[in-house]
Amino acid sequence: MDPLKPQLPEISPEDRTPLVDVLLELLAWQQKQIDALEQEILKLKGETTKSKLKPSKMDKDPAEDGDKDDRDSSKKKKKGPTGQSTG
């Protein structure tokens, strides 16, 4: 929350007239607009407020990745300088 933003005081039910209700709705709508515009500014600047990081796969069991036999993946053939397989 922005420390410069003023806080609305609690309005008792007897003080809530139809005009006060409309003004409170207007304030809520304006805040939504401000939030949307701030998000758009960040998007245009190339910044994001939400992280788009994928979950880590380090703790994941290798069998879940479809590599049921790790021996095959370690026997990859390397190509030599002529483009022929050396393994």
Q: pLDDT (tens digit, 9 = 90+) per residue, 23-69?
A: 999 999 999 999 999 999 999 998 766 666 677 777 776 666 555 55
pLDDT attached to residue 7: 87
Residue 8 has phi, psi (to 5 degrees) of: -75, 135
11, 27 in Cβ contact below 8 A? no
More confident residue, 18 or 67: 18
pLDDT attached to residue 4: 81
Cα–Cα dist 7/76, whole Å: 64
pLDDT attached to residue 34: 95
pLDDT attached to residue 80: 63
Cα–Cα dist 26/53, whole Å: 36
